Amino acid sequence: MSKKRIVIALGGNALGNTLPEQYLAIQETSRAIADLVEEGNEVIISHGNGPQVGMINNAMAAYSKTDPSHPSLTPLSVCVAMSQAYIGYDLQNALKEELLNRGIQKSVATVITQVRVEENDPAFLHPTKPIGHFMTKEEAAKAEKNGIQVTEDAGRGYRRVVASPQPAEIVEIETVKDLLKAGEIVIASGGGGIPVIRKGNHLKGVGAVIDKDFASCLLAKELDADFLIILTAVEKVALHFGTPKETWLGQISVQEAQQYAAEGHFAPGSMLPKVQAGISFASSAPGRTALVTLLQKARDGVNGKTGTRIVG
């Protein structure tokens, strides 16, 4: 096998939902990643953070009840930064150990990564993603006074609602490239990256969650990767998913993927962003392949044995 540069985007099931779950899930995740490293590939890892960022947001809110000098809502950019650090900590540790067990001498480094978004991204006008704890009407009013957008969530109370803008630039991309040049395995752009807007020389954190599938796609393009692998809870992408007409897809062209997406085969917020990221990556330059598969099938997927591949 020739050496490939691979960006791996880890989904929720590769990380688990709680701290003990994460510790265990990441051991299996590390074995799947080490398989690709062992075959001689250059690997860059990114990951989601949905449950983790909600947990951190809620934990900080609970803490503020014991110490009211702390604001009850922590900036989401800070929550994302915290999630990158502790997921990166577990991942870099477990992957390093797995590599050492296989006699592979390689450093693993997590880069706290900011991702710039456009201040005028239309997503800011329509925040759609409710996150974190439920608030009373009074708490919600107080939060809104502090510039935090709040929405009524399906009759269950009020919740913070955040926008999901498109990633425009990976701020620490040169650092990632330098580490790759030095032969390191890099974990970057976790949780879609810490969302920031540029104000002159200042990068200002914003209350948003960037989709990790889109951020990983941008990372893969910027690094001129051969593969973008999106690891999730299904081995393949399906047409007519969850119905008697369900058909699993193997290799498809960008045009076919676009057509299936337009026909509504992929659920928004789950499979659609993965297919959209795959289309964007595979059509961005010749020789780029996007792969959606299960964590445990990553190596077989890269070697063409399973998974859904989108090719340009």
The catalytic position among 13, 17, 58, 93 is: 13
Residues 99/103/107/113 CA torsion (nearest 10 deg): -20
Nearer to ligand ADP by Cβ, of 72 and 306: the residue is 306
The catalytic position among 48, 192, 193, 274 is: 274
Q: Is 159 in the site for ligand ADP (CB under 6 A)?
A: no
Active site residue 12: yes
Nearer to ligand ADP by Cβ, of 85 and 267: the residue is 267
Q: What SS3 state is found at 83? A: helix
**201-213 b/e with 16+ CB inside 10 Å = b?**
eebebbbbbbbbb
- Tell me which residue of 300, 303, 82, 293 sits closest to 191, measured CA to CA: 82
Active site residue 199: no
Count of positions on this chain that bind ligand ADP (CB under 6 A): 14
Active site residue 13: yes
Q: Is 265 in the site for ligand ADP (CB under 6 A)?
A: yes
Q: Is 293 in the site for ligand ADP (CB under 6 A)?
A: no
Q: Is 187 in the site for ligand ADP (CB under 6 A)?
A: no
Strand bridging mode 251-253 / 308-311? parallel
Query: Would you give the end-to-end CA distance of the chain in angstroms?
Result: 21
Rounded Cα gap, residues 265 and 268, in angstroms = 9
Which of 271, 279, 290, 294 forms a contact with ligand ADP (CB under 6 A)?
271
Which of 62, 85, 267, 285 forms a contact with ligand ADP (CB under 6 A)?
267
Residue 28 class from Cβ within 10 Å (0-12 exposed, 13-18 middle, 19+ buried)?
A: middle
Contacts of 235 (CB under 8 A, 6+ apart): 248, 293, 294, 297, 306, 307
In the complex, minimum distance from the CB of residue 278 to ligand ADP, in angstroms, rounded to a whole number: 12
Q: Which of residues 3-32 bind ligand ADP (CB under 6 A)?
A: 11-12
Active site residue 236: no
Nearer to ligand ADP by Cβ, of 257 and 271: the residue is 271
Rounded Cα gap, residues 209 and 102, in angstroms = 36
Q: Which active-site residues does the annotation give?
A: 12-13, 129, 212, 274
The residue ranges that bind ligand ADP (CB under 6 A) are 11-12, 48, 232-234, 237-238, 241, 265-267, 270-271
